[in-house]
Amino acid sequence: MPELPEVETVRRGLELAMVGARIEKVELRRKDIRFPFPPRFRERLTGRRIAALARRAKFLLFRLDDGETLIAHLGMSGSFRVEAAETSSPGAFHHKRSKDPKHDHVVLHLDNGKTVTYNDPRRFGFMDLAASEALETHPRLIELGEEPLAVEFDARRLAELFAGSRAPLKSALLDQKRIAGLGNIYVCEALFRARLSPLRPAAALASPAGKPTRAAHALAKAIRAVLEEAIEAGGSTLRDHRRADGGLGYFQHGFSVYDREGLPCLRPRCRGTIHRLAQSGRSTFYCPECQK
């Protein structure tokens, strides 16, 4: 499920459960997910205390107390689940059991009694360990572009990032080397909100003189708004413990265009219909009436 807002929501949930706790035991149910786990993975995690939980783009960064950082990416289908300690009172028969034990690949047992389980059916996610000092040079992180929620991110920066690109807006926005954290859903949603066609050339966000256009301003603003609202929505899901079975990283938003092919455009007074097209192998959803 995870794009930047989902990963941020997961980060906040894991932060609550994990920071300050020590990893007492690590269960590794396979030797790889997308890539092999790094050498001595269990040994390097066992006994470590989690000092902080950060995020870079769609990557989760678990900073450990020994100078290493656990890097985790959820891929398409990865999720973390936090479970409280079993109350081992006799007759406590409500033993919590995973709905999908087959894809529980990593289980961390913490000294605060909680259990953190990584589940990933498609195994496009991955985990690695790296020196905290050298994180920025990790092969998977070194090429990442701008954080769209950073204060420096604005229309000017956006126009600069897209200058010289020959790609359409949709593809340029998905390129993690330029802006890091957007995925297929929020790119579609941001373009809709900015009323820009996904087919428009990305380079046209700057005037010939190199100044950001009105479109650049609209898009930069839309990206920020869409991400912040999604994080807010995730945050509220996270607080709702009745329906959170501990599962993090999976919640439903109301999308304006994503997966709404054939349905009416939600913009007031627009008579358009949401269309779908394929761009660099992914589905793009947009309203041809109001996105120009």
Partner DNA sequence: CCGCGGGCCTGAGAGC
Partner DNA sequence: TGCTCTCAGGCCCGCG
User: Which positions ≥6 away from 23 have C-beta within 8 Å?
Assistant: 45, 46, 47, 48, 49, 50, 108, 109, 110, 111
Sheet of 68-73, strands arranged across: 50-56, 59-64, 68-73, 126-131
Least distance (Å) between residue 82 CB and DNA: 19
Residue 197: DSSP 8-state = -
Does 137 interact with DNA (rule: CB under 7 A)?
no
Does 3 interact with DNA (rule: CB under 7 A)?
yes
Q: How far is the C-alpha of 113 from the C-alpha of 283, rounded, in Å?
A: 43
- Three-class SS state of 264: strand
Does 171 interact with DNA (rule: CB under 7 A)?
yes
Least distance (Å) between residue 57 CB and DNA: 6
Q: Which is nearer to DNA, 29 or 271 (CB)?
A: 29
Does 176 interact with DNA (rule: CB under 7 A)?
yes
Does 114 interact with DNA (rule: CB under 7 A)?
no
Q: Which is nearer to DNA, 207 or 280 (CB)?
A: 280
- State the binding string over 9-48 for DNA (x if CB under 7 A, else -): -------------------------x--------------
Q: What are phi and psi of 283, to 5 degrees?
A: -75, 135
Does 161 interact with DNA (rule: CB under 7 A)?
no
Region binding DNA by CB under 7 A among candidate stretches 11-19, 147-155, 174-182, 263-271: 174-182
Residues designated catalytic: 2-3, 58, 282
Least distance (Å) between residue 158 CB and DNA: 15
- State the binding string over 57-76 for DNA (x if CB under 7 A, else -): xx--------------x-xx
Task: Name the pairing type of β-strands 126-131 and 68-73.
Answer: antiparallel
Q: Give, for 252, the enclosing helix (H) or strand (E).
A: none
Q: How far is the C-alpha of 230 from the C-alpha of 237, rounded, in Å?
A: 11
| CA distance readout (Å), 86 to 90, 93, 95, 207, 268 | 11, 10, 7, 61, 51
Cα 105 versus chain centre, distance:
19
- State the binding string over 74-93 for DNA (x if CB under 7 A, else -): -xxx----------------
| Binder among 6, 8, 68, 189 for DNA (CB under 7 A) | 6
Does 103 interact with DNA (rule: CB under 7 A)?
yes
- Three-class SS state of 226: helix
Least distance (Å) between residue 144 CB and DNA: 8
Does 102 interact with DNA (rule: CB under 7 A)?
yes
Phi-psi region of 123 (alpha: psi -120 to 50; beta: other; left: phi over 0): left
Least distance (Å) between residue 142 CB and DNA: 10
Total residues in contact with DNA, by rule CB under 7 A:
39
Least distance (Å) between residue 260 CB and DNA: 12
Q: Which two tokens stand for residue 287?
A: 């309203």
Q: How far is the C-alpha of 78 from the C-alpha of 121, rounded, in Å?
A: 7
Binding site for DNA (CB under 7 A): 1-3, 6, 34, 57-58, 73, 75-77, 102-103, 121-124, 140, 164-168, 171-172, 174-176, 182-185, 250, 253, 279-283
